[in-house]
Amino acid sequence: MMKTNIQRKGELFVFLGALFWSLNAPLIKFISLDAMLVCGLRSLIAGVALLPFLFRSKLRFSKGMLVYLIAYASLCLSIVLALRQTSAVIAIGMQYGSTRLEQRETKDKTKRKGMDIPFFVLVMLLLTIGVTMVLSASFARAYYDPGNITGGKPTYYFIRQLLVAALGTAAMIFASRLPMGFYKRFSIPLLIAAIVLLMLVPIIGTNANGAKRWIGIGSLTLQPSEIAKISVILSFAVIICKNRGRMKTFRYGILPFVAILLVIVGLLVLEPHFSASIIIVAIGGVMIFLGGARLIWFIAAAVAAGGGIAVLLTMFPYASSRITTWLDPFSSTSDEGYQIVQSLYTIGSGGLTGLGLGQSRQKYLYLPEEHNDFIFSVVCEELGFIGAVLILTLFALLIIRGYWLAMHAADRYGFLVGAGITTLLAIQVILNVAVVTNLVPCTGISLPFFSYGGTALLIQMAQMGIVLSMSRDIHAKRAG
């Protein structure tokens, strides 16, 4: 007897139903009870949907249908067994869920919280003002292009500084999300890398203004001394934490730090780069003092450092000539004293309220380095005494906030790193303002967030990110 199409389709569906169950069975066997319940319900729905079709087609009883009915009965049995144990599954699930909730609450108490907003806002405010002042101070030199560098594009320096500022902001946010343990782990390798780069400067360094301080990488330049500054802070903090109970001794409290400083300063003198040498020695001394070294050893190290600087001044004639120029800059207004005299003219031209943003006259090739080390002179000329005081107030607030964060750090390492970076910022701001106002001898010290320079700005922003990373641990500790 020939089978109708409906019979063929019916037996096909019966076969598929049996096959469906046979595939589900081993899955149920090796997976949990929850999986068995899901698979059983799925097969039950398929079977219920198939039964009306079978009865409507008036199929005769066959072996295929017998297989299907056995499979379907087994399926229903498995569902019954699953339902009987549902209460046990729910109880286990509720217990597991409560345990996971307790673990999550415990984890949330120790989870790092958000960064310190006041510190972040102050950094971004200073960065915005600084990039704006680079545009105002540099467009005249970029337009006239005395060194054939900019191609006569007025916004040459501004565009480059703006790009570095954007990269620096990204670096700051990225650095703020890294845990402090990351910096602790890689501080010594960073110090070694900085020393290696300083060793390469005399060999492959780029010569500018009579000194080799940069390593050229294509169209970009890298200043290893900036890396050395932060590496000293991070590595000294690690060594201090490791020798916490032995910092009062000369062997552990003075000797390793002096050895590191001698290597770095010796390499900087070869460039030569005296301003970076002074800053690194100063920040190294502050770190030793914060680490708890005996005051007598600290004073002896400070005297030795001062004596070393005096010897270096006598060894290098150009350094000693700066002392003479500092004492009486107007004695050589067309030679050594030209830069500082023009700086004083620039500051004096601003008066109380300034000439207005973009209205500086001294930046038209009268003041050297007007967009770099002497940008604060242009700030005074355009924004006046009031504007200069407001900017210095922002720096003061940032420094105070940095020290506050350091004092409330979650651990000793965070305190040392936060205080070290904040002190480095304070030293550079104070020395830059002192140089442009002739309070100290003229030397190349940039103003953070303001002076034009890729490496310096990028690393300064990364340093701010490290402080923000430390602030996350503070908020987590206070929340806990």
Identify the pLDDT of residue 355: 94
According to the model, what pLDDT value does residue 447 have? 94
Distances (CA, A) of 407 to 9, 99, 398, 435: 81, 36, 14, 30
Token pair 């005494």 is found at 385
What Rg, from alpha-carbon coordinates, does the chain have?
A: 36
* Stated pTM of the model: 0.75
Categorize the per-residue pLDDT at 34 as very low, low, confident or very high, splitting at 50, 70 and 90. very low
Tell me the average pLDDT across 280-303.
87
pLDDT per position as a tens digit, 89-115: 444 554 555 455 445 444 444 456 788
pLDDT tens across 366-384, in order?
998 899 999 999 999 999 9
How far, in Å, CA of 296 to CA of 303, rounded?
Answer: 11
Residue 77 pLDDT level (bands cut at 50, 70, 90): low
pLDDT tens digits for 192-248?
999 999 999 888 888 776 677 878 776 677 889 999 999 999 999 999 999 888 888
Q: How far apart are the first and last CA of the chain?
A: 82
Lowest mean pLDDT among 316-325, 339-348, 350-359: 316-325
Reply yes or no on whether the pLDDT at 432 is more than 60. Answer: yes
Q: Is the Cα torsion angle 192, 270, 316, 442 positive or negative in sign?
A: negative
The C-alpha atoms of residue 328 and residue 191 are separated, in whole angstroms, by 40
Share of residues in the chain with pLDDT > 90 (%): 45
pLDDT at 287 over 60: yes
The overall average pLDDT reported for the chain is: 79
What is the four-CA torsion angle of 139, 144, 147, 153, rounded to 10 degrees? 60
Whether residue 443 contacts residue 427, with contact meaning beta carbons closer than 8 Å, is answered with no
What is the pLDDT at residue 479? 55
Give tens-digit pLDDT for 350-361.
999 999 999 999
CA distance 280 to 311: 17
